[in-house]
Amino acid sequence: MAKKEKTKFDYAKELRQLKSDGPARLYLLCGEEDYLRRSFLGELKKLCLGDAEEEFNYRRLSGNPEPQQLSEAVESAPFFSERTLVEVKDFDINVCRDSQLERLKDILGDIPDYCTVALLTPADREPDGRLAAVKAVKKLGRYIEFTVQDQAALVGWIGKRFAALGKSIGRREAEQLIFNAGALMNRLIPEIEKIAAAVHGDTVTAQDIDELVQRLPEAEVFEFTDQLAAGRFDAAAETLGELIRCREEPVKLLALIGMQIRRVYAAALALETGAAREQLMELTGVRFDFILQKLRSSAGRFTLEQLRSMVELCAVYDYKLKSTGTDGNELLRELFAALAVQVRC
């Protein structure tokens, strides 16, 4: 159901290590938290280049460059500077194979003392640790995965962003913002700026967030299952209708509904068996305690039999959607009616 929980990423620790040890010769920078990754690259750039001319010492490549192009960039000597920085954006390490891999290992294994190479993978494409290319780069340089910040760090960061714009926000309101807009900083920044510009007072309220934030489909689907759990079928129908009106792909919506119901089922099983918080987080992929509490609350309103039937219904309708020519939105409405029947039982 969910990937194994990753080791906690500590951005402040990575920065301290960079500043104390200085730039390494090679970095593989990956992960979905692209805002922090670009911030780290900015700090790396300052240490490597200082006030030197970027035109001569900062070489930017994109994609998977030809070996000769990468070799020339790496070997170019600095001009009025002690170091050079080579950035390779959108580098897909997962496609490096055979002779290309051998040439890449030759280049990255012989980076001059004056050069730092930063390979940035696409934010939505995780390096496959089983591949020889990933293993080779990890052995040759520093591998840093920029994951979503933990709850305390993210809430604190949101507070600082609002404070810089002359507004204050409480912990619960910050959590509500994360729930509605997601945990990625690049998505949160425009929402924070929009809220700060629209709110007339000094304090951001829960109502401000509900009225101003564009909610992610995942948040809407979470609300949809909560409404089903509470027997608020008219509200659930309205939420589903809004998702359909927003032109979300039926395949994506059904996948989100199925995933959320499986999460609620997992939470119900955890309540039944007394599973630990860490086990439930790993099983469901939920990162934050406040969302886990919402999940547990929702699970407590269903019986295990109801949830098993609802999981089966989602699987049946997923098959129908992918194997028949039936209108996807119509199937979503049929699924809602079938789920409502299960809740009423």
Task: Read off the pLDDT of residues 310-340 as tens digits, 9 standing for 90 and up.
Answer: 999 999 999 999 998 789 999 999 999 999 9
Cβ contacts of residue 100 below 8 Å, gap of 6+? Answer: 67
Are both 273 and 320 inside the same structural domain? Answer: yes
Residues sharing a CB contact under 8 Å with residue 105, sequence separation 6 or more, in sequence order: 136, 140
pLDDT in tens, 151-208: 999 999 999 999 999 999 999 999 999 999 999 999 999 999 999 999 999 999 999 9
In a domain, 2, yes or no: no
pTM value is 0.86
Do residues 240 and 191 share a domain?
Answer: no
Do 119 and 168 have their domain in common?
Answer: no
Q: Are residues 129 and 175 in the same domain?
A: no
- The neighbouring-strand residues paired with 62 are 89
What confidence tier does 4 reach under pLDDT thresholds 50, 70, 90?
A: very low
Sign of CA dihedral 144, 188, 91, 25: negative
Euclidean distance between the first and the last CA atom of the chain, given in angstroms as a whole number:
27
The pLDDT score that the predictor gives to residue 162 is 97
Find the CATH number of the domain harbouring 39: 3.40.50.300
Residues 128, 221: one domain? no
With respect to residue 45, please indicate whether it lies within any of the assigned structural domains: yes
Domain boundary among 120, 145, 170: 145
Domain count, the chain: 3
Q: What is the CATH number of the domain that holds 178?
A: 1.10.8.60
Determine the Cα–Cα distance for residues 115 and 79; give it in Å rounded to an integer.
12
Task: Identify the weakest region by mean pLDDT among 6-15, 21-30, 35-44, 128-137.
Answer: 6-15
- In terms of domains, do 327 and 223 share one? yes
Domain boundary (145, 162, 181) is at 145
Residues 207 and 275: their CA atoms lie apart, in Å, by: 35
Supply the pLDDT for residue 344. 83
Report yes or no on 6 lying in a domain: no
Task: Select from 212, 246, 263 the last residue of a domain.
Answer: 212
Q: Which domain holds residue 201?
A: 151-212
